[in-house]
Amino acid sequence: MTFSKKKLKLSDCPYCTGKGYYQLLLGGSETCYQCQGSGRKHS
């Protein structure tokens, strides 16, 4: 697994590291269901 090191902000969603989506192994991406693509952590 190769995750790029990105500094997480406190407001960033920890599941998708603030990107709003997951990178899939087979290619492409899937919207993060935890933040619904916003990349922000719910308060």
Q: Min. distance of Cβ 35 from Zn ion in angstroms? A: 3
| Interface pick for Zn ion out of 3, 5, 9, 16 (rule CB under 5 A) | 16
Q: Min. distance of Cβ 33 from Zn ion in angstroms? A: 8
Alpha-carbon span 10 to 8, nearest angstrom: 6
Dihedral through CA 12, CA 17, CA 22, CA 27, nearest 10? 140
23 is a contact residue toward Zn ion (CB under 5 A): no
Alpha-carbon span 34 to 15, nearest angstrom: 7
Residues found near Zn ion in the complex (CB under 5 A) = 13, 15-16, 32, 34-35
